[in-house]
Amino acid sequence: MLRLMRLLCIRHAESTMNAAGVWQGQADPPLSRVGRGQARALARRLAESGEARGLAALATSDLRRARQTAEILGERLELCPLPLPALRERDVGAWSGRSHAQIAARWPGDLRRFRAGEELRPGGGESRAEFQARLRAALAELAALAARRGGRPVAVVTHLGVLRALRPAASPGNAQTLWLDLPQRCA
């Protein structure tokens, strides 16, 4: 039997590396001043709109930019953020801290292959298969968490790469949300 797991997915607010226009991967920059304001504004909107009412939990990537976003949201929504390392962004190895132009100049073939969805380790980082396996483990953890809390929706603060892996056409900006209903097998 299948049932749906409902997730309120939240892309972390702007980090200092977002502001600098460089790839982050699993680098661990903090939120920028703008990002802290984005997170506060999102927390206010979610609380005032009632969109976050009934959430079972607030899970977050353990990377600082996501954690800081989740802490600001959790304070307003009265939820304690639960860090899950499996929700981290894809590791892009040596591409981290570099601009798109720098990556294109140094690794043009790899960047084309990456954009085409081919299997490779960008910058020596994590393969697509490894990334997807890690996300499947994260989704299993989230499904178990939701089940323990009556099947209610779970909020998840994570990264653009994770959101695109869950919904390929997704392109939320910093501190933007999208709802996902994911099928889960149940016994």
* Amino acid letter for position 56: A
CA neighbor of 11 nearest in space, from 134, 183, 167: 167
Phi, psi of 56 (to 5 degrees): -75, -35
Choice among 14, 48, 78, 89 that is catalytic: 89
CA neighbor of 87 nearest in space, from 110, 53, 58, 127: 58
Residues belonging to the chain: 187
Q: Is 89 a catalytic residue?
A: yes
Choice among 12, 14, 126, 159 that is catalytic: 12
Residue 174 token pair = 């910093």
Q: Which residue has the tokens 């483990």?
A: 137
The span from the CA of 79 to the CA of 66, in Å, is 15
The span from the CA of 43 to the CA of 182, in Å, is 24
Residue 181 token pair = 């209903």
Other C-beta atoms closer than 10 Å to the C-beta of 82 total: 18
Catalogue the active-site residues: 12, 89
